[in-house]
A and B are shown apart, each in its own frame.
Chain A
Amino acid sequence: MWQGAITIVAIAIFNFCLIHMAPGSPVDVLAGESGTADPAMMEELTRRFNLDQPFHVQLFSYLWNMAQLNLGQSYRDNQPVVTLILARLPATLLLMASAIGAAFLFGLLLGVVSARFVGRAADEGISFFALVSYATPTFWSGLMLITLFSVKLGWLPSSGMMTIGSDKTGLAFMLDVGRHLILPTLSLSLFYMAIYTRLMRASMLEVYGLDYVRSARARGLSEARVAFRHVLRNALLPMVTMVGVQVGSILGGSVVVETVYGWPGLGRLAFESVGRRDYNLLLAILLFSSVMVIVTNLVVDIIYTLLDPRIEHGKK
């Protein structure tokens, strides 16, 4: 917990430095638009962030404002940055959860199949698929999927999170969102699926060679039972760790995917703020994303402790 807090403060200080290094005065940056914000608001910001005071006072007041979740204004509709971020958060969380889930599940399945048929055609095929997926830019697979499934086949929507103008509710609404979710999930998860496939394959092969697997066979357990009860559970442990390692990278990838699919999440907000030169919003998203990484890693640690009885006793 303490490490997480220190990290967040460090990133906030880094953001503060960037605000000072960015073109235009800090108050312009904090106002969200270089030079054209109204004077009353700029005065208000100068006062609240002590921008007419010495550097260290400014830094302290910036951090104090951060701690109160006061991240400044955005040019867009003149709204507080926090409001904008929180409005976009659910869409990003949905996409991330769906992409991580898909990558984990399919990576696990392909890795298990690959390990089970190691050296044979299925293994070679899966390995090649993982190799290509690992080299494919997310935005490119996104555009190609749109070409195939939206333009050519017309099966799935190419943009947005729900059908515009429809007033669906309940199950129909969820199905609608689900249909919009398929392609973004696929594009974002492909790269990570490749990582999980290779990790799971290696992990399964390693565990298959361990003594307790041989001793499970020696007690007459069927191959299926050996695979599920003894190999799979242990082989999953590195996979769980990997989710924690990859979450920051997935957040970065969501910028590109949300832009391709017009998905109304944090990543698209980041892209929009780049276009508007709304640096304050951009930096707030950076900070917020780092917080999400820290929180996810905490959750992953807890899950790991539940899966591996050796951890709670501090003996790994």
Chain B
Amino acid sequence: MAQATDPGADGANPAPPLLRLRGVSVTFKTSKGLSPVVRGLDLDIRAGETVALVGESGCGKSVTALSILRLLPPAHASIGGSILFEGRDLLSLPLKDMQDVRGDSISMVFQEPMTSLNPVMTIGEHLVETIRQHRRVSRAEALRQGIELLKAVRMPDPERRMAEYPHRLSGGQRQRVMIARAIACRPKLLLADEPTTALDVTVQAQILALLRQLQQDFGIAILLITHDLRVVADFADRVVVMYAGRKVEDTVAGRLFGAPQHPYTQGLLAATPRGMRDAAGGRRRLREIAGTVPDPMAPPPGCPFQPRCSRAIEQCGRELPLLGPADGDGLVACFRPGAAP
């Protein structure tokens, strides 16, 4: 699964990416003024690839996913840049065409399985609604496909589940329904926003295994949004680390865990409990990153991570480090990248 290509170099792979974000900026309009949440983000996802978008809460990763489907309320958020999906700019599509993309070629799974299903609709109604929104099939056929979908997500007793209401299901079962609903129209890209965060650890593993299975079966590209590096480790092909609305590191998953380049990435890894080993194979101690995420409306001068960075030099407080090729594969935005001192 892992691709050895340089993710940043466009010429390396002749096939154009499925999704290409260029200079995407998202600004929230708040009562106190404009708040830039995502700043000039570039991101490529190829067909069938799994990309993890990682960062602390508030770094702009969920907002990025919502902007791809244009689900942010236009009155409160403006999106700049371009989001090309199969060559079409989603940002300039008429709403009607955008609605045809949503749930069909791009679908999304949300974090909250308990509240993301309509409490007064049966599981079957949820699935049939989605299928018939995008496919001209009869109700009976949609019901049949719905049962197939529940089987595909390993839902026990799928025929009976179709007639049940969401409150009868456990969190894990609801998340399976959400995934079934998301793959109902065989999407090319699945946006998974913290799909396992709200679930028990054992259920988390099952859901991740299911996602990987579905990806292999149907060749779906996945953008996995998470704050949990444990989830990323054996799931993603490539990892993009975001900090304060910016991409700070973009590399192949294996290399990220072996030799993280950005001090923030290193901090994240150090703060990840259980099972993470450094290059030398020794167990790391669990360490929180000191300090807090900067206020998007009043970012520090220079590198946004500089106030929290143990490696910061005078230049970091003056200039913004740009994304550049890192040692080995990948890209990093840091004046002093490299292994932890």
Whether chain B is bound by chain A comes out as: yes
Give the Cβ gap from A251 to chain B, nearest Cβ, in Å: 30
Task: Give every chain B residue within 8 A of A308 (Cβ-Cβ).
Answer: 119-120
Contact partner, B167, options A214, A229, A307, A309, Cβ 8 Å: A309
Q: Evaluate contact between A212 and B118: CB separation under 8 angstroms.
A: yes
With contacts A211-B110, A214-B71 taken as known, whether A220 is within 8 angstroms of B118 at the C-beta atoms is: no
Of the listed residues A219, A222, A230, the one surrounded by the most CB atoms of chain B closer than 10 A to its CB is: A219
The 8 Å CB contact of A233, one of B117, B120, B130, is B120
Q: Does A163 contact B (CB under 8 A)?
A: no
Q: How many residues of A contact B (CB 8 A)?
A: 23
* A315 B115 Cβ-Cβ under 8 A: no
Q: Which of A218, A309, A313, A315 contacts B103 (CB 8 A)?
A: A218
Give the contact-size bracket for chain B: 20 to 34
A221 within 8 A of B: yes
| Residue of A210, A215, A225, A315 touching B178 (CB-CB under 8 A) | A215
For the complex, give the distance between the alpha carbons of A10 and B249 in Å: 74
Which residues on A sit within 8 Å (CB–CB) of B115? Answer: 210-212
Flag if B165 contacts A309 (CB, 8 Å). yes
Task: In the complex, identify which listed stretch (B94-102, B234-242, B256-264, B317-325) lies at the interface while the others stay far away.
Answer: B94-102
Asked if B229 is at the interface (CB within 8 A of a chain A CB), the reply is no
Are B129 and A310 within 8 A (Cβ)?
no
Chain A: CB-nearest residue to B100: A220
Whether B100 and A218, one on each chain, are in contact in the complex, defined by CB atoms closer than 8 angstroms, is no
B247 interface residue (CB < 8 Å to A): no
Contact with B119, one of A219, A229, A310 (Cβ below 8 angstroms): A310
Kindly provide the distance from the CB of A218 to the nearest chain B CB, expressed in whole angstroms.
Answer: 4
Contact A222 B167 (CB under 8 A): no
Smallest CB–CB gap between A213 and chain B, Å? Answer: 8
A42 to B4, CA, bound (A): 106
Q: Is the CB of A220 within 8 A of B108?
A: no
Residue from A210, A220, A309 with most neighbouring chain B CB atoms (10 Å) = A220
Q: Which of B100, B117, B133 contacts A212 (CB 8 A)?
A: B117
Contact between A219 and B107, CB atoms less than 8 A apart: yes
**Do B69 and A218 have beta carbons less than 8 Å apart?**
yes
* Given A217-B71, A309-B165, A313-B167, A222-B99 contact (CB < 8 Å): yes
Q: A217-B71, A315-B167 are in contact. List 19 more A-B contacts (CB 8 A).
A: A211-B112, A212-B117, A212-B119, A215-B116, A217-B69, A217-B102, A218-B102, A218-B107, A219-B129, A219-B130, A219-B133, A220-B99, A220-B130, A221-B129, A222-B96, A222-B99, A225-B133, A309-B122, A310-B119
